[in-house]
Amino acid sequence: MDRPILELRGITKAFGPKVANRDVSLRILPGTVHAIVGENGAGKSTLMNMISGNLQPDSGDIVVDGETVVVADPQRADALGIGMVHQHFKLVPSLSVAANIFLGNEMSSAPGVLDRRAMDDRVAQLSTDLGLALDPRDRVQDLSVGERQRVEIVKALSHDTRLLILDEPTAVLTPSETDELFVVVRRLAAQGCAVVFISHKLGEVLAIADEITVIRDGEVVGSRAAEGLSQSDIASMMVGREVLLRVAHTPPTPGAEVLAVDDLSAIDQRGAVAVKNLSLRVRSGEIVGIAGVEGNGQSELAAAIAGMYRPPRGRIAIAGDEVTTASVAERRARGLAYIPEDRHEEGGAPALSIAENIAAGHLRPPIARRGWLSLGAVHDYAQRLIAKFDVRGARPDTPIGSLSGGNMQKVIIAREFESEPALLMVSQPTRGVDVGAMEFVHNSIVDLRDRGAGVLLFSADLNEVMSLSDRLLVMYRGEVVAEFTQETMTEIAVGLAMAGVPPTAEALRDAALERERVAAELEASGTRLVDASAEVAIVEEVATTSVVVPRTVAVETTPRSMSAVLSEFASHTFRSATQPVVAVLVALAIGAIVILAIGQNPVTAYVELFTSAWRTPFGIGSIIAMFVPLAIMAAGTIVSFRAGFFNIGGEGQLYFGAFFGAFAGFSFHGLPPVVHILLVLVFGATAGALWGLIPGFLTGFLKVDIVVITLLLSQVALLITSFLVTGPFADPTATLAGSPRVEASALLPVFSPAFGFAPDLLIAIGVAVLLGIVLHRTTWGLRVKELGERNRFADYIGTSSPRMAMQVMALSGAAAGLAGALFVIGPNGGRFLQAFSPGFAFLAITVALLARLNPWASLVAALFYATMMAGGTGIQAVGVPFPMISVLQGLIVIAITATFAVDLRRRRRSTKGASK
């Protein structure tokens, strides 16, 4: 068995600029357990996904049984005898065990007829052969986590699998279930199957592996036989320095109560009871751990305490104040800091920078004063925390989603630890964090405790929660079934409680006997049991109470010069403009082909289209008339889009603003011009804001689809204004359906009648600039961008999503209404006309997309579109029909949308690759 079953030769894989694997080579022999370890983001999962056909390498060879192969997809991997059990189970809960195992490869007794008996018999046979007790007729939803793990393994081995990849297989298992898994793994190896074992639990790695390969920063550091290695040896190879694997436990000094939970109940997403009449207490100066197999109510309990979930019954108090019905922001103000279980969906805003993610939790001086952000203070604060918490390869302006999972976790930990909380609630603090950072996190938690904070710790890592907790509560099916102190907790006792068995003297004796039996079986195969207490004992030999700070990375420590700031701004602007410019050029190239097809010269046509309007005063006036509403509406659209609300109803908001602005113009008499003009603008903006507020309320509080409701309300607004100007407010002297003429005192003064130059142009530019400043320099603008992440980060950080939805849609509607009012009293207005808009709302969306949702760039994009619209007369003069402009607009929309889709997919792939 000297020939490897699998060999990797020079495998390289990159996600954008992030290189996940670089020139990786390794050999896996049949009949062995080969462990692959490394820091989070080292490239372990990426490598395994290439072996299993879920990803393709950029270069290098995968060799199976001595032959170079291309593993194009998981089906090809199955055919080669490669199976993978993912960390997150891929099972259908409502189906039976047999149905899940043969899903996609069902047996049939006749065409289209399932042979359930044959599948059940095959599963029973596999279960017997592998020593994995399973009933093929059981529903997966009724199984324990350990039993689901067995289903995944049997599924992976049901296709003559000769190489089995186990990705973090013990993450959700009790100690006894882990022992049972190791028995199965050893049995498979004895039968000649090669097993690849990926885990961050170094004790387990040493207990089960024959050979260990360490990957650091995407490269293989080395492969060594497991025999003779220690956990410290592996950890040093992983991070390149010596580390302490566990902090020594020092006695607590409990003080006043900082958390009280009484008779709390919670319901999970399926409607089942997840937490049942639970009570607990946390005092300052102590760490209370919550142990239990995942899925026993820990997530629901944490969400209820954090304010992310409103429990149907129970009471919660923080630092003596009842907060059962309080918002997340109010709980944070009372001293709560929270590191959530899911960093991508709750803990971070992936598209925002590290600086913005950190600032979101510290909106107070010097970072923010009276609603305004100090960008310099934000940058410096983020820079300091990047260095302190060793966030590698990062700058303050780095999008947090581009970091590895471990480094993203460090940013979240930095933000929460720095808030000096009275109560720190931590859920899975070191999940996906490398062993070097783990050392820092554990010491930091103890340091916060010693400085007087109360800590509630949720962790699926039994070693972690046992070594850190002063008191340990075990949850099973939503209830606290056992409580331990440092003096009474043992791995066997805690493990029994996690399985729902009271740790009585008789149960402990039986468990010890069973553990001895399993140990003997494993020892016969060259494997030993994992002992959680051994890891703690290692640390006690080098006991220390000081916080161990990891190596720091080099970062800027001096203020950036103005030239550096301008250079960075110019570089960012150039990068942002590249894709839109290319998209426009592609659209124009396709348009040129269409123009050639109708027998005209595209060069002449485009020259006329983009220059003819600039040659005459009338043409320039037409450009300004188009530019003003486009610039204002595009800026408002950008705000709503950045918040994740696709306001497609700007046309209705525009019409309401135009009509009610006109109403103020013709209804009030004898007012001074300045007062009258302001009144018109206020009426228009208010009408648009109120019409935008409706979908904001329906979306924020009732979760109505924003696209559907804005489209519907837009049509309703157009019907209402049509009724008003053909009924109660009809002007019989008007040639088209329109309102009475506004008073002369309401009209804007015209600086240059020939060019149509009036204050509306200055107002439009001012509104766009102001909205840009609001979006980028205010705390409100930061909350808008938090909301635009479309995950739960905004709620987690204390931003009220429903209220923000109303505010954002009201502001977007106000901008559209203001644009309508300006059009009515501008050089080309005088009254409200039902057909005054050529589709400004649709064009504004296009402008916003062309500007890549950048308010400053939207001014340039609006000018481009206004020029193209005003050039219609010129293009007709050279024989190209006016509808060609609509064709070009459509092509630009398609090209811009395509670049957005490609860019979004690239960023998601880059983020996915970086987090592995």
- pLDDT, residue 319, reads 93
> Which of 92-96, 230-234, 447-451, 764-768 shows the lowest mean pLDDT across its residues?
230-234
The answer, yes or no, to whether residue 693 has pLDDT greater than 60, is yes
- pLDDT, residue 776, reads 93
Task: Give 555's pLDDT tier (boundaries 50, 70, 90).
Answer: very low
The answer, yes or no, to whether residue 469 has pLDDT greater than 60, is yes
- pLDDT, residue 258, reads 96
Q: Above pLDDT 70, what percent of the chain?
A: 88
For residue range 211-230, list pLDDT tens digits in order: 999 998 889 988 999 888 88
> Which of 20-24, 249-253, 664-668 shows the lowest mean pLDDT across its residues?
249-253
Determine the Cα–Cα distance for residues 389 and 437; give it in Å rounded to an integer: 8
Task: Give 184's pLDDT tier (boundaries 50, 70, 90).
Answer: confident
Residue 275: closest CA among 258, 261, 286, 257: 261
The β-bridge relationship of strands 18-28 and 6-15 is antiparallel
The answer, yes or no, to whether residue 109 has pLDDT greater than 60, is yes
Run of H or E including 46: helix 44-51
Q: How many residues does the chain have?
A: 916
Determine the Cα–Cα distance for residues 521 and 381; give it in Å rounded to an integer: 55
- pLDDT, residue 523, reads 66
Residue 200: closest CA among 460, 380, 374, 376: 460
Residue 394: closest CA among 532, 556, 528: 556
Average pLDDT over residues 697-725: 95
Residue 788: closest CA among 853, 849, 845: 853
Q: Which residues contact 292 (CB under 8 A, 6 or more apart)?
A: 298, 474, 475, 476, 498
What order of strands is seen across the sheet that includes strand 273-283? Answer: 273-283, 257-267, 313-318, 321-322
The answer, yes or no, to whether residue 551 has pLDDT greater than 60, is no
Count the Cβ atoms, other than its own, within 10 Å of residue 82.
Answer: 28
Q: Above pLDDT 90, what percent of the chain?
A: 49
Average pLDDT over residues 748-774: 94
Average pLDDT over residues 634-660: 95
Determine the Cα–Cα distance for residues 175 and 164; give it in Å rounded to an integer: 22
Residue 832: closest CA among 692, 679, 757, 726: 726
761 within 8 A of 628, measured Cβ to Cβ: yes
- pLDDT, residue 556, reads 39
CA atoms within 13 A on the CB side of 77: 23
More confident residue, 828 or 457: 457
- pLDDT, residue 852, reads 86
- pLDDT, residue 39, reads 72
pTM of the model: 0.77
Token look-up 């029994």 returns 496
For residue range 890-900, list pLDDT tens digits in order: 788 788 777 76
Cα 210 to chain center, whole Å?
38
Determine the Cα–Cα distance for residues 88 and 668; give it in Å rounded to an integer: 67
Task: With H, G, I as helix, E, B as strand and everything else as coil, classify residue 426.
Answer: strand
What does the block give as tokens for 267? Answer: 């319901």
More confident residue, 880 or 750: 750
The most confident of 212-226, 301-315, 460-474, 900-914, by mean pLDDT = 301-315
The answer, yes or no, to whether residue 914 has pLDDT greater than 50, is no
The answer, yes or no, to whether residue 563 has pLDDT greater than 80, is no
Determine the Cα–Cα distance for residues 107 and 99; give it in Å rounded to an integer: 10
How confident is the prediction for the chain on average, in pLDDT?
Answer: 85
The answer, yes or no, to whether residue 547 has pLDDT greater than 80, is no
Of all residues in the chain, what percent are helix, strand and coil, respectively (each to 5)?
A: 50, 15, 35
Give helix 855-870 / helix 840-850 axis angle, nearest 10°. 130
Task: Give 93's pLDDT tier (boundaries 50, 70, 90).
Answer: confident
Average pLDDT over residues 808-825: 97
The β-bridge relationship of strands 219-225 and 372-373 is unpaired
- pLDDT, residue 524, reads 66
Is 498 exposed, middle or buried, given 0-12, 13-18 or 19+ CB atoms closer than 10 A? buried
For residue range 601-630, list pLDDT tens digits in order: 999 988 988 999 999 999 999 999 999 999
497 within 8 A of 476, measured Cβ to Cβ: yes
Determine the Cα–Cα distance for residues 518 and 182; give it in Å rounded to an integer: 9
The answer, yes or no, to whether residue 909 has pLDDT greater than 60, is no
Determine the Cα–Cα distance for residues 726 and 728; give it in Å rounded to an integer: 7
Task: With H, G, I as helix, E, B as strand and everything else as coil, classify residue 826.
Answer: coil
Q: Which residues contact 627 (CB under 8 A, 6 or more apart)?
A: 761, 764, 862, 863, 866
Q: Where are the beta strands (DSSP E) in 29-145?
A: 33-38, 59-64, 67-69, 82-85, 108-110, 113-114
The answer, yes or no, to whether residue 70 has pLDDT greater than 90, is yes
What order of strands is seen across the sheet that includes strand 67-69? Answer: 18-28, 6-15, 59-64, 67-69
Prior bond to 366 cis, omega within 30?
yes
- pLDDT, residue 432, reads 60
The DSSP code sequence of 619-651 is HHHHHHHHHHHHHHHHHHHHHHHHTT-----HH
- pLDDT, residue 579, reads 72
Task: Give 903's pLDDT tier (boundaries 50, 70, 90).
Answer: low
Determine the Cα–Cα distance for residues 381 and 56; give it in Å rounded to an integer: 40
CA angle 619, 623, 627 (to 5 degrees): 170
Task: Give 467's pLDDT tier (boundaries 50, 70, 90).
Answer: confident
More confident residue, 433 or 863: 863
- pLDDT, residue 242, reads 63
- pLDDT, residue 111, reads 80
More confident residue, 17 or 348: 348
Task: Give 28's pLDDT tier (boundaries 50, 70, 90).
Answer: very high
Residue 38, phi then psi, degrees to nearest 5: 170, 165
- pLDDT, residue 509, reads 74
CA atoms within 13 A on the CB side of 381: 26
Determine the Cα–Cα distance for residues 274 and 711; give it in Å rounded to an integer: 40
For residue range 415-440, list pLDDT tens digits in order: 998 988 999 999 988 876 666 667 77
What does the block give as tokens for 112? Answer: 């289209």
Q: What is the DSSP letter of 345?
A: I
